[in-house]
């Protein structure tokens, strides 16, 4: 019986400024797959946009497949407290969800936040993504207002980035 080979894992690279519109569209497609209605998506669109300025600041990375196609993206933003970063965005192409792309992007964001001296990473999560963050080491610390839809509360998570103390 021939051995079935696993497809190559995607690479991760910094986003390019000219990719901002394509990355913004990816965020919208990924969010829409949860079945949100047109009004919700209209309200969410500005928060889903990836800005050229954020890319130029070096805060956005993309996962690519073996052919170089974009499979997902992750972005860091300033945290609300000292020594903290926010996971500003983590979106995966709908056809690639549950293929490990999100986990790789989250690991990259954690490593980058640590490299930049952060002690914690906060995550304002879509309710449909809460299980993903919990299964990847995030602790739910409460709820916070949505950055897109007025009156909507979202699960708030954090990942402790400090090494375990002995």
Q: Within a domain: residue 19? A: yes
Q: Which of 15, 10, 21, 31 is nearest to 107 (CA)?
A: 10
Q: Within a domain: residue 76? A: yes
Domain total in the chain: 1
Q: What's residue 33's pLDDT?
A: 93
CATH of residue 69: 3.40.630.30
**DSSP per residue, 70-139:** EEEEEEEEE-SSTTEEEEEEEEE-GGGTTTTHHHHHHHHHHHHHHHTT-SEEEEE--GGGHHHHHHTT-E
Report the greatest alpha carbon distance in the chain: 57
Residues 136, 132: Cα–Cα separation, whole Å: 6
Q: What's residue 166's pLDDT?
A: 47
Q: Within a domain: residue 127? A: yes
Q: Cβ contacts of residue 119 below 8 Å, gap of 6+?
A: 83, 84, 160, 161, 162
Q: Within a domain: residue 5? A: no
Domain range for 24 is 11-160
Q: Within a domain: residue 6? A: no
Low-confidence ranges of the chain (pLDDT < 50): 166
Q: Cβ contacts of residue 64 below 8 Å, gap of 6+?
A: 10, 11, 12, 13, 70, 71
Q: What's residue 74's pLDDT?
A: 98
Residues 66, 156: Cα–Cα separation, whole Å: 34
Bridge partners, residue 87, by sequence: 76
Q: Within a domain: residue 4? A: no
Q: What's residue 4's pLDDT?
A: 58
Residues 146, 44: Cα–Cα separation, whole Å: 9
Residues 38, 158: Cα–Cα separation, whole Å: 30
pTM: 0.89
């Amino acid at each position: 019986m021939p051995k079935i080979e696993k497809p190559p894992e995607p690479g991760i690279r910094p986003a390019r400024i000219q990719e901002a519109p394509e990355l913004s569209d990816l965020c919208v497609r990924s969010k829409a797959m949860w079945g949100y209605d047109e009004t919700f998506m209209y309200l969410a669109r500005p928060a889903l946009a990836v800005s050229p300025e954020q890319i130029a600041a070096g805060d956005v990375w993309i996962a690519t497949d073996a052919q170089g196609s974009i499979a997902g993206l992750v972005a860091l933003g300033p945290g609300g407290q000292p020594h903290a970063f926010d996971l500003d965005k983590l979106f995966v192409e709908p056809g690639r969800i549950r293929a490990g792309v999100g986990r790789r992007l989250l690991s990259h964001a954690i490593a980058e936040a640590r490299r930049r001296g952060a002690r914690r990473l906060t995550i304002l999560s879509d309710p449909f993504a809460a299980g993903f963050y919990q299964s990847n080491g995030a602790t739910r610390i409460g709820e916070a207002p949505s950055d897109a839809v007025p009156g909507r509360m979202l699960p708030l998570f954090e990942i402790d980035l400090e090494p375990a103390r002995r």
